[in-house]
């Protein structure tokens, strides 16, 4: 057990936590120790800076020791804290939801780029909503919009609903349990999705933070990682989910832009564009509404 004595000062405890994590065989980020200490002691960054000489006490020592042990075992900081920031908003997490990542903010940016008039009424659909972070971020930026979040996990939907309440958009969204577009009716101006896109055979080789703590349902994209895209694209063309002038935005793995674009083209989508994330990796494929000819519905192989 990592020994954080009650007489240890806040500043010294932070240094000790940093050393423990640096020596451990986990991919600890430079801010992990600080995040955990602030949460364990219920402090703000300002309080730590101004009063770093105060002892952490018995309760603080116990909480911090437990959190550091969990991190040393490979549990991500966000899971330990139970809440994470996305688009400047707080989101509670659960075992059935992914931790919101900065890369996924690229998906929000891509969708908003198609909404130059954000005050007009919009219908937004979020497929595989998880924590609800993507849909809720869009609703905060589009005050007249209404959104629907779909997920196969009932427990994830409970988390998403709570996050909508916490971020004051609950009256402008609804959540439903379904597999992608199954049982959906009506059309939407914006459709967004961050589906599972990791090939099944790759998952066992992922970091412990991912393979042991992220929900498998949100990771496994099938043999080639593209199963979810096939399902979503086929449903879009068959069910008229996109309104005239509507757009679909899909988060992808760094090496999937070509494959997803090809699938989209086979479904009749046009104006296919790819947006990169802050690291310069392909991250989002954006698609304009398809124009079907002679009532024919393309198939996705």
The answer to whether 10-81 and 94-288 have equal CATH topology is no
| Residue 131 CA from chain centroid, whole number | 7
Segments making up each domain of the chain, as ranges: 10-81, 94-288
What is the spatial distance between Cα 177 and Cα 184, in angstroms, rounded to a whole number? 11
Helical spans, DSSP H, in the chain: 10-23, 32-41, 45-50, 57-72, 77-81, 105-112, 133-141, 154-166, 208-211, 227-239, 257-266
142 within 8 A of 118, measured Cβ to Cβ: yes
Q: Residue 98 pLDDT > 90, yes or no?
A: yes
Q: Residue 225 pLDDT > 50, yes or no?
A: yes
Q: pTM of the prediction?
A: 0.92
Fold of 10-81: Helicase, Ruva Protein; domain 3 (1.10.8)
What is the pLDDT, as a whole number, of residue 297?
40
CATH superfamily of 94-288: Vaccinia Virus protein VP39 (3.40.50.150)
What is the spatial distance between Cα 130 and Cα 299, in angstroms, rounded to a whole number? 28
CB atoms within 10 A of CB 96: 21
Please compute Rg for the chain using Cα positions: 22
pLDDT tier, 290 (very low <50, low <70, confident <90, very high otherwise):
very low
What is the spatial distance between Cα 274 and Cα 249, in angstroms, rounded to a whole number? 10
CB atoms within 10 A of CB 155: 13
């Amino acid at each position: 057990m990592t020994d954080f004595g009650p007489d240890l000062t806040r500043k010294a405890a932070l240094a000790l936590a940093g050393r423990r994590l640096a020596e451990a065989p986990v991919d600890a980020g430079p801010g992990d120790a600080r995040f955990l200490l602030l949460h364990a002691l219920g402090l703000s960054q300002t309080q730590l800076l101004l009063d770093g000489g105060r002892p952490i006490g018995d309760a603080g020592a116990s909480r911090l020791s437990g959190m550091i042990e969990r991190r040393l075992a490979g549990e991500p900081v966000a899971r330990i804290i139970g809440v994470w920031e996305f688009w400047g908003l707080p989101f509670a997490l659960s075992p059935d939801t992914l931790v919101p990542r900065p890369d996924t903010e690229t998906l929000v940016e891509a969708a908003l780029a198609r909404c130059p008039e954000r005050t007009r009424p919009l219908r937004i659909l979020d497929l595989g909503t998880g924590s609800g972070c993507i849909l809720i971020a869009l609703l905060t930026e589009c005050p007249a919009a209404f959104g629907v979040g779909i997920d196969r996990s009932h427990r994830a939907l409970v988390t998403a609903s709570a996050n909508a309440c916490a971020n004051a958009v609950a009256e402008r969204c609804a959540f439903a349990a379904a597999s992608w577009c199954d049982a959906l009716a009506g059309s939407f101006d914006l459709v967004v999705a961050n589906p599972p896109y990791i090939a099944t055979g790759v998952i066992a080789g992922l970091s412990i933070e991912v393979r042991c703590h992220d929900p498998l349902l949100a990771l496994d994209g099938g043999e080639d990682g593209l199963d979810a895209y096939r399902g979503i694209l086929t449903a879009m063309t068959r069910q008229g989910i996109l309104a005239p002038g509507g757009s679909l935005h899909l988060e992808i793995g760094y090496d999937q832009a070509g494959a997803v674009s090809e699938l989209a083209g086979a479904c009749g989508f046009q104006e296919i564009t790819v947006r990169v994330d802050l690291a310069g990796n392909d991250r989002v494929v954006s698609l304009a509404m398809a124009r079907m000819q002679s009532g024919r519905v393309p198939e996705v192989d």
